[in-house]
Chain A
């Protein structure tokens, strides 16, 4: 029997499992699939709305909105989680850079400037604050491939230009070694693992770069050694290379998943993907077992401690139906959610305040233990983390990954030392 079970293999669950492993436990991670991190950009977004110091913004948020998941993690918890995350990435030769002093602005595949606190070093040269506020530097070059349907450089370049950042978008020719019928981001990442492929692309970049000193490419520059791939392309092209996140599936997300999985397994933990937890069983206010749907039969998993990190609506932890019901999928925990379906949405898709249904989640006490409507703890040996928590719309607040790391880390620590 494992002493700890983590339900969910997204960023939050894996960060929680890492914290548990660090504390000497050997967590079992049960998950339906590989988690939502492969849908996201791969940056660590702490708080999108912060204009200046992220530390200050977090401090203010924790004071003014004590029900926010960040308040559960605490300011120190956020910093500790990020430090641990960065140490892990550093050790895997996939370093993250950035700071809590302020957000950087990274170009998107649409040419918008999105804020991020920490980001893989492979994206670092994309910081649009480089070269001064007036962006007086030489124009950027954005390059892609017609065969990659999830990245269109000309539109992104023109949107950047429209915001005062001169940029050009070009398409490269797929090297002959790469003749295939269909391409996706993962296939491209595997191609970029091949030095011969990079040689060809690098030569094309040198020919296309003109006076550009920085070149943006889709974030598909290898699965095995992306930093090495970037260095190689820089040497070949004579310009700084940076990655721009693409539509899902996200290669930076794949890299994160692999790094976490290896670290957790190395520390004695285990990941069981394809094991969707469907219900739990408890006694005397404690959860004793969970049941997962395996290929041929139901499996029982017993443990002393549980971390629930199944996500919100996107991750699959919060489910809804046509009657307007909402429920938590793994353990049937009480949810905090808007009323009937009439209250779920705003009329505009891009409504600034977001859509109320996406704030649905589990209410917890400061120990991240799940609470019922009356405020009583449902299971004393369960902690909740990530987008399954109520009180936030992490996509609108641009803290999806930061909040996942911070609460996952905090939940893992609480489970290993305080409960």
Chain B
């Protein structure tokens, strides 16, 4: 058993949690963060990557629209390396009602969302694949965001300022003394060890899981997990974020991000944020709605589908989950429930994570009687080591320019996403990655067209060569190399889950090539039989039900 003492414990390693952690650290408050998976393992790592201009919410959710508009500008200043200034359009397609336009424009004016109309011809010049039958086009300050990099940059800066980050630590209980929460009991899911964390204050930033955390303190918080399914297309069919100019609905946005374009998203209530799959109709809806924006897109190659769960906070009866406001809410459990020592920060958007963190940290500082002011809107985030040229906004050709400048073509481990050996080695030796899926979140390895066909073998081999030969606690049967084989099996299974709902045409052919590689050439299935748990990937981190989502077959 280990014991950790801290002043503030943040629960949740998504955007909000690391945002709070950084804010606390910059104010000189001793803080630790626990996350049951890898950082961004939950909703933050599973969204479409939109940096909101606020335009989507100007009619139905004005507060959220204003928050997005304000934060959009701040994030451009503090984390340019995580953002691409794609710009955004709201377009009226033949399927949309022009009567929405005056509402939209009035909403933009009221909420401070910058907007101006451009000629349809100009929109089509900039985006030649856009539906030529659109009748109007409005330009906004949308962009795309690398939520993995942003989260890591926040965490890195927090650690630099003295904070602790504990990934693969699941909260199993909260300790209460009378009416005060005084600590948390966690399980280190890699070693099985119990960790006690004594703290003066807890910030529940568990997102869609916030209700589950609150329950451990005997407090009721109703979070409605709203599942959103997205599909990534093989090409950047658009270089601008394009939204339908109408009330938000399924499949009404395409976000270009890195090498792909993402169509989003559905909104389906799920009873439990840990148990959901992707339905065929959701993928079909994305593709058929995507046709309104880019005719022919449903015939293009789809790389992958995935789903995330929105942390929608429900504090009154709302008929449709899409009607739940997208704004955030700070719950002071002392005022609300008579339980001291804990607040919950629920709801919100990735774009407003910093504002949410600021508000939460303000509240904690007040409770602790600390005067320090927030500085997260002023101080730029650090750019990960050895990557000065990442300074400035991201642009599509940037990774290739870096490869060319270094003449490092010969070191590409993942050709699709231009991930070099150096970056994979960094991800492995940093000690934070527990499996290849964690390396993926650090580097984008395996996220391109071949979906891990070539790079999984290479990454597993590098892992084998770099990791000290310490057998994990659960003792895989074949020693150290057995572990890299288990990693390989786990990652291929992870990729497979996102492929089965979209595997047809060329992507099915790609999946079959992966069989030729892993079965015919490498004989992965012929290596000694894995333990039954490992077949589902559980060996890689844990069989703990708290993160079992990862291992449910879709």
Contacts and interface: CB of A to CB of B under 8 A. Distances in A.
Interface of A: 36, 39-41, 45, 108-114, 147, 149-150, 152, 154-155, 158-159, 161-163, 180-183, 245-248, 250, 312-314, 316, 319-322, 324, 341-342, 344-345, 347-350, 352, 357-358, 395-396, 398, 400
B515 interface: yes
Contact of A349 (B421, B492, B520, B554): B492
A110 B515 contact: no
Contacts of A395: 512, 515-516, 519-520
Interface stretch (B153-161, B216-224, B254-262, B407-415): B407-415
A128 B553 CA distance: 37
Contact of A40 (B407, B481, B482, B521): B521
Contacts of B508: 313, 320, 357
B89 interface: no
Nearest to B421: A149
Given A155-B461, A313-B508, A350-B525, A39 B481 contact: no
Given A149-B458, A182-B409, A350-B489, A110 B524 contact: yes
10 contacts: A109-B522, A110-B522, A113-B526, A149-B413, A154-B461, A247-B522, A248-B521, A250-B521, A321-B504, A348-B535
Contact of B481 (A159, A247, A350, A396): A159
A162 B513 CA distance: 28
B38 to A, nearest CB: 21
Interface residues of B, number: 59
Contacts, number: 158
Contacts of A109: 457, 521-522
Contact of B523 (A39, A40, A110): A110
A41 B520 contact: yes
B166 interface: no
Interface of B: 280, 283-284, 287, 298-299, 302, 407, 409-410, 412-413, 421, 454, 457-458, 460-462, 464-465, 478-482, 484-485, 488-489, 492-493, 495-496, 500, 502-505, 508-509, 512-513, 515-517, 519-528, 535, 553-554
B487 to A, nearest CB: 11
B520 A322 contact: no
Q: Which 4 A-B pairs have the closest CB atoms?
A: A112-B523, A152-B461, A347-B553, A158-B481
A40 B519 contact: no
Contact of A110 (B413, B485, B554): B485
Contact of B512 (A147, A250, A358): A358
Nearest to A161: B481
Nearest to A43: B520
Given A41-B521, A314-B513, A395-B520, A112 B465 contact: no
Max count, chain A CB within 10 A of own CB: residue among B283, B482, B503, B513:
B503
A392 to B, nearest CB: 14
A342 B280 contact: yes
A350 B509 contact: no
Contacts of B492: 349-350
Given A113-B526, A348-B553, A182 B460 contact: no
Given A111-B481, A182-B410, A348 B519 contact: no
Nearest to B494: A349
B223 to A, nearest CB: 28
B521 A154 contact: no
Nearest to A115: B526
A162 B553 contact: no
B522 A314 contact: no
Contacts of B462: 152
A330 B383 CA distance: 52
Nearest to B527: A112
A40 B410 contact: no
A123 to B, nearest CB: 13
Nearest to A316: B509
A108 B516 CA distance: 13
Contacts of A155: 460-461, 464-465, 481, 484
A377 B70 CA distance: 70
A248 B519 contact: no
Contact of B519 (A180, A321, A342, A396): A396
A348 B481 contact: no
Contacts of B409: 181-182
A247 B505 CA distance: 23
Contacts of B526: 108, 112-114
A323 to B, nearest CB: 8
A314 B520 CA distance: 13
B485 A159 contact: yes
A180 B410 contact: yes
A159 B520 contact: no
Max count, chain B CB within 10 A of own CB: residue among A112, A163, A352:
A112
A314 B478 contact: no
Given A114-B523, A152-B461, A322-B502, 7 more contacts: A108-B526, A112-B522, A155-B484, A180-B410, A341-B504, A348-B493, A349-B496
Contacts of B481: 111, 155, 158-159, 161-162
B264 to A, nearest CB: 18
Contacts of A150: 454, 457-458
Nearest to B497: A347
A159 B496 contact: no
A39 B522 CA distance: 12
B495 to A, nearest CB: 8
A207 B413 CA distance: 29
Contact of A320 (B485, B504, B525): B504
B509 A113 contact: no
Given A154-B464, A348-B493, A395-B515, A111 B527 contact: yes
Contact of A154 (B454, B465, B527): B465
Contacts of B478: 159, 162
Given A110-B457, A111-B527, A112-B527, A400 B520 contact: yes
Contacts of A316: 509
Contacts of B460: 155
A314 B413 contact: no
Contact of B517 (A248, A345, A347, A396): A248
A250 B504 CA distance: 25
Given A154-B461, A316-B509, A347-B553, A108 B521 contact: yes
A183 B502 CA distance: 33
A139 B109 CA distance: 76
Contacts of A161: 481
B504 A350 contact: no
Contacts of A159: 478, 481-482, 485, 527
Contacts of B298: 322
B525 to A, nearest CB: 5
